Structure 1
Amino acid sequence: MKAFLRNFFAGFLALVVFTAICYLVAKSKLEEKPEIKDRSYLIVDIYGEIFEYDPPTGVMGGMFEGKPETLNRILCNLEKAAVDDRIEGVIMKLSASNTAGGAMHQEMRRAIKKVRKAGKPVYAFTDDMDRNTVSLASACDSIFATPTAWVVFTGMSLTSMHVKSMLDKLGINPNIHKIKDYKSAAELVTRTDLSPEAKENLRWLLDEFWDMQLSVISEERGIPIEKIEELMEHAIFMAEEAKEAGLVDRLVYWSDLADQLKREDDEKLRTVSQADYATVDPEELGLKGDKKIAVVHAQGMIGGRKNKVDPLFGVMMGHESVCSELRRARRDKDVAAVIFRVDSGGGEGLASDIIGHEVRILADEKPVVVSMVDVAGSGGYMIAYRATKIVADPLTITGSIGSISGKFNMTAFHRKLGITHDFVTKGPMALLFSQYRDFTEAERERFEKNHWDGFNMWLADVAKYRGMTFEEAEKLAHGRVWTGRQAKANGLIDEVGGLDRAIELAKELAEIPAGEKVTVVHYPKREKSFLSSLLGGGLAASVRWAAYRYLHQDVLETARSLSSGPVYIMDDSWIK
């Protein structure tokens, strides 16, 4: 017993010491402020997963797994670089291996142009480009590529996945009801291919993407639309071919480019990373004002109570977390207006409605401007439409006002595993949501009526807030998906633009003069205390983040590297 207690307390003491060391390391890293030298180039590396805002990884997640890149940090740093005399220019290191969507690219493009307008050069450097990367890089002064760069420039496609045949083989029978024909997410489990309505919807989205992206490339690279389509026939370009086609300007290795850009009296090019430059307070550069505008960030699948990172589903938006931040902004007397920054394809209906209700309460007291990012559809639209105004990028995916509900009959699957079930019930509809049999005719009728009643109540509310009749709103709903440009034309949003336009509109609504500077504050606040993060669930958050990062970034990155171009590899299994 004495030996057990001795070992127990020794282990406990070791854990305390380890925790203290981690705390001191984290504290020193957070407090350390790097020096920004004159004549520096800001390096913005667009690679891997790009989130809209810091995911809830906890302090330890940032320490041990690397802080993920975010659109918010990119935009803030470019805004500072435009006015910071120490920053000589910006280099955008671009790779096709990034998850930023069309709206994120558009916001980066606008921020790049502001830096150029301030008289500072912005260069793109790449070793791996696709059509989307070319569109982003076109906003820069010049595009540099390594002499061995891989450039894939093809047409557009949208692919759907269907698992119905797999479910049939497993003995899992979906009892799904969707509202309605255009709600194609349900087709994942109900069909083996796309329905005519789903194909129609995807075609009009592709037409929009095609028109907007090709117009940008044509205008800024000086390539006629007809020539762009010819280049897509070629599809795969060696670096020299890409230069001849006008997709890049110069071929140069990174070390040579750095030597060419450095000053003669410098040994090497002075650079500052995204992470280091993020420590610069905008107030130091005169970017703050007396009045505050709060930006509340809401990203990921909607579900549960608290924001978290799920190893399989990624960033999850919890209604209690988001509502808490909205209430914080509402109760802060110094906050004149609020931007609700939404990047979500939806999720749980109840959680979505709770968040949307909190938005309405806030909008009754202060102007609330929704700023949609890559996607704000279905539940993502539900949390947004009760705001004072809605702004979306032209390439934002929004709408999808519809609903999916039902259950899965698992009986045959369980029988394959040797599992059976029996029941004793009392009262009607006792097995309504049982996973061990299909709906009866009476149950399905009752279930579908309830589903329609709930949806129609939502649609009537959308119509009220968007100033439409129910019939007008219905023509835009039933699962139909729209780009931001289409949503502006049909009345689902108020304006097209990014975060910068949302801030301008918030100032107008709060009666702040257009030329007056404001302080922009972001919620949720970034966790800085190691101990508070640990006590508040930061350790679990860090573990979930590590698992997610491995599954979604490290594994997929390896898979992509083996499929995106020539692979020079040998069988070395015989070398021992």
Structure 2
Amino acid sequence: MKQFFKFVLASFVGFILSGIFLLVVFALLVGVIISSAGSDNGPAVDSNSILYMKIDYPITERTAVKPFRGLSFLGLDEDKSVGLNDLLAGIRKAKTDSHIKGIFLDESYMMQGQATTEELRNALIDFKKSGKFIVAYSEIYTQGFYYLASVADKIYINPKGIIEFKGFSSDVTFLKGALDKLGIEAQIIKVGTYKSAVEPYFLTKMSDANREQVTSYLGSMYDHFLTGISASRHINKDSLFNYANNGLIQEPEDALKYKLIDGLKYKDEILSDLKGRTDVKEKDNLKSVEVADYIKSASDDEDSTDKDAEKNSSSKNRIAVIYATGEISGGDGDDNSIGSERISRAIRKARTDDKVKAVVLRVNSPGGSSMASDVIWREVSLTKKVKPIIVSMGDVAASGGYYIACAADSIYAEPNTITGSIGIFAVLPNMQKFFNDKLGITFDGVKTGKYADLGDVSRPLTPEERALLQKSINRGYDTFTKAVADGRKKTQAYINSIGQGRVWTGEQALKNGLVDKLGNMSDAIESAAKKAGIKEYRLVNYPEQKSPFSKLSQGLSAEVKAHFIKAELGENYKYYEQIKGVTQLMRTPQARLPYTVEIK
């Protein structure tokens, strides 16, 4: 017994000492993080430097707060991803920075939407007004990166490289065949001829209406793509269409022949060219600063979305920029999803703050829960009564994403923003055959009312149940179209005529009255300031991003999990996300974009 107590006592002491040791190690780690976060203002920018831009990561609306940025452990590599807000701020700063002589666009995969690329491209066009150069180089030019790079003074490609110039396509994956094999029927209740989010569950190919709308908005986006390149490269738009349509751009030599690029060069030749442009001797190292590092050294004010933020930083007036990014659902959400509670709270905070004179709601969302969308719409409507609220649309602001925007004073969109999709749907699976025939499982029970088990997936809907659900969906659509009609000052009949779930580009939406102007975030901010009657102001960003320590305690495990899944699946990660999203479709009525739009 004595030996037993000795053993227990020794184990207890060892446990205490180990705990103290781990606590000390954790404290040291936290100290390193705090020290790094507090002292890292980025490297000093040398004179005759080049701003180096290689965007090989998805661009979020704003730079994420990450607890271990710049560190590498647990398989998490150093993260140099930068949000759109900081990328634009960095380009604007470089325009007037005497230390920066030009921009070098290196190979980028442009994993973001068309509107984000458009904002970056316009920022680069504005940068060129300074007289500074932009040089682009890549071994592989995707169409997205070429569109961005087309504004450069010189465009080069590796002599053995690849350039895509073939036109746009958009594919939909249909699941009906797989569901049939499993014995699962997708019971669809919807309003909107063009509301095609549910088509993959009960069709094997596009409906005629869906094919019509996709042809329309894809054609609009492609026309804008060709128009932009035509203006930058001084090539006739019809000629560009012909090059793509007839497959004339297959090799780097083809791109050079038809003047899409300016030369075939290896990376060492590009570096020599850049040294010559910055008066650096061939034997010396090129002076450059990565955009992620430059932003740290260039911006003293974290609210740097506006081009005049620095000169207005001392003003007591505020303009609140509220970021609504991702799918819409109830609850809090996070920086990559729209929780109705979190966004509503942010709008209320801006509305009740006397220092905030106007609000800009930045929407980048395919929609989601119709109820959660209505909750946010209500806060936008209340805000409009007391101060200006302007919407700036990103890559997509459709369905529920349009619902939360429609009550604003005015709406800005990029020409290639995806918007509209005014419609409602619900999906309820009937898994009776799957349970009975595939698994041999049967169900039986009792109920106290005719509709007590409405929504039971183990059996099909009765005609009466389907009628009840259709009535609910119709009511949701009527609420949606009335909200849009009131916000846009149109008749409900007119909104219904351009609604029905139909998707539009920003350019098309301007013509049919769903948006007011084509423009970017800065344009929306300037409009908000003008409507509020203020010239001097600071920007404040909402919702507040989670601190590194809250991420440590709440979200690190999810972040680590997502990192490894992405690393393993690569480009197929999008299918994993789509599978996860199927369960959401089957919970509540949805105001959601027909599907993920991917331009190839």
TM-score, scaled to structure 1? 0.88
CA contact (8 A) 1:287 1:518 kept: no
Distance 1:301 1:227, change over 3 A: same
Aligned residue for 2:67? 59
Equivalent residue of 1:323, what SS? helix
Counterpart-to-counterpart distance in 1, 2:424 and 2:160: 48
CA contact (8 A) 1:156 1:206 kept: yes
How far off is 1:68 after superposition?
Answer: 3.1
Q: 1:457 aligns with which of 464, 473, 479?
A: 479
Output the amino acid matched with 2:514. L
How far off is 1:76 after superposition?
Answer: 1.3
- Which range moves more in the overlay, 315-324 or 112-121? 315-324
Distance 1:548 1:460, change over 3 A: farther
Q: 1:500 aligns with which of 509, 514, 522?
A: 522
How far off is 1:550 after superposition?
Answer: 2.8
Output the amino acid matched with 1:411. Q
Question: In the TM superposition, what whole-angstrom CA distance separates every residue of 1:396-425 from its partner, at most 9, and x where no partner exists?
Answer: 000000011131112222332343322221
Residues 498-537 of structure 1: matches in 2 within 5 Å?
498-513=520-535, 518-528=537-547, 530-535=548-553, 537=554
How far off is 1:46 after superposition?
Answer: 2.1
- Which range moves more in the overlay, 277-286 or 205-214? 277-286
Counterpart-to-counterpart distance in 2, 1:62 and 1:332: 35
Counterpart-to-counterpart distance in 2, 1:140 and 1:453: 51
Residues 412-451 of structure 1: matches in 2 within 5 Å?
412-415=433-436, 416-451=438-473
CA contact (8 A) 2:565 2:573 kept: no
Aligned residue for 1:254? 267
Question: In the TM superposition, what whole-angstrom CA distance separates every residue of 1:262-288 from its partner, at most 9, and x where no partner exists?
Answer: 344562111111221221354589733
1:292 aligns to 2:318 (yes or no): yes
Aligned residue for 1:335? 356
Aligned residue for 2:56? 47
Aligned residue for 2:505? 483
CA contact (8 A) 2:151 2:233 kept: no
Aligned residue for 1:245? 258
- Which range moves more in the overlay, 370-379 or 257-266? 257-266
How far off is 1:6 after superposition?
Answer: 4.5
Question: In the TM superposition, what whole-angstrom CA distance separates every residue of 1:209-258 from its partner, at most 9, and x where no partner exists?
Answer: 22211111122212223322332223553223322221111222333322
How far off is 1:303 after superposition?
Answer: 1.9
CA contact (8 A) 1:401 1:477 kept: yes
Aligned residue for 1:23? 30
Distance 1:143 1:277, change over 3 A: same
TM-score, scaled to structure 2? 0.85
Residues 54-453 of structure 1: matches in 2 within 5 Å?
54=63, 58-60=66-68, 63=71, 64-65=76-77, 66-95=79-108, 97-232=109-244, 233-234=246-247, 236-262=249-275, 263-265=278-280, 267-280=284-297, 282=299, 287-289=310-312, 290=315, 291-308=317-334, 315-415=336-436, 416-453=438-475
How far off is 1:308 after superposition?
Answer: 3.6
Counterpart-to-counterpart distance in 1, 2:327 and 2:433: 30
Counterpart-to-counterpart distance in 1, 2:280 and 2:417: 46
Distance 1:160 1:554, change over 3 A: closer
- Which range moves more in the overlay, 270-279 or 86-95? 86-95
Counterpart-to-counterpart distance in 1, 2:16 and 2:440: 47
Aligned residue for 1:466? 488
Counterpart-to-counterpart distance in 1, 2:352 and 2:546: 21
Output the amino acid matched with 1:197. A
CA contact (8 A) 1:48 1:99 kept: yes
Distance 1:519 1:42, change over 3 A: farther
CA contact (8 A) 1:62 1:68 kept: no
Output the amino acid matched with 2:393. M
Output the amino acid matched with 1:451. I
How far off is 1:165 after superposition?
Answer: 0.8
Counterpart-to-counterpart distance in 2, 1:241 and 1:447: 57
Output the amino acid matched with 2:293. D
Counterpart-to-counterpart distance in 1, 2:19 and 2:160: 54
Aligned residue for 1:564? none
Output the amino acid matched with 1:244. K
Equivalent residue of 1:48, what SS? coil
- Which range moves more in the overlay, 296-305 or 486-495? 296-305
Equivalent residue of 1:237, what SS? coil
Counterpart-to-counterpart distance in 2, 1:286 and 1:187: 46
Counterpart-to-counterpart distance in 2, 1:4 and 1:423: 55
CA contact (8 A) 2:280 2:286 kept: no
Equivalent residue of 1:347, what SS? strand
- Which range moves more in the overlay, 462-471 or 25-34? 25-34
Question: In the TM superposition, what whole-angstrom CA distance separates every residue of 1:81-138 from its partner, at most 9, and x where no partner exists?
Answer: 112222211122243x222222112111110011111222122222211333222111
Counterpart-to-counterpart distance in 1, 2:479 and 2:112: 34
How far off is 1:14 after superposition?
Answer: 4.7
Output the amino acid matched with 2:209. E
Question: In the TM superposition, what whole-angstrom CA distance separates every residue of 1:30-79 from its partner, at most 9, and x where no partner exists?
Answer: 22122222222111212232222245x74247753525332222111111
Aligned residue for 1:566? none
Output the amino acid matched with 1:299. T
Distance 1:152 1:235, change over 3 A: farther
CA contact (8 A) 2:110 2:117 kept: no
Counterpart-to-counterpart distance in 1, 2:340 and 2:17: 42
Equivalent residue of 2:452, what SS? coil
CA contact (8 A) 1:59 1:542 kept: no
Equivalent residue of 1:391, what SS? strand
Equivalent residue of 1:475, what SS? helix
Output the amino acid matched with 2:166. T
Counterpart-to-counterpart distance in 1, 2:350 and 2:269: 48
Counterpart-to-counterpart distance in 1, 2:186 and 2:24: 52
Distance 1:98 1:22, change over 3 A: farther
Counterpart-to-counterpart distance in 2, 1:316 and 1:256: 44
| Count of residues paired in the alignment | 545
Distance 1:286 1:225, change over 3 A: closer
Counterpart-to-counterpart distance in 2, 1:14 and 1:553: 38
Output the amino acid matched with 1:427. G
5+ residue gaps in structure 1? 310-314, 558-576
CA contact (8 A) 2:198 2:427 kept: no
Output the amino acid matched with 2:239. K
1:542 aligns to 2:559 (yes or no): yes
Aligned-CA RMSD value: 2.4
CA contact (8 A) 1:59 1:527 kept: no
5+ residue gaps in structure 2? 1-7, 302-307, 575-600
Distance 1:473 1:421, change over 3 A: same
Counterpart-to-counterpart distance in 2, 1:367 and 1:198: 36
CA contact (8 A) 2:432 2:460 kept: no
Counterpart-to-counterpart distance in 2, 1:234 and 1:273: 36
Output the amino acid matched with 1:388. D
How far off is 1:2 after superposition?
Answer: 4.0
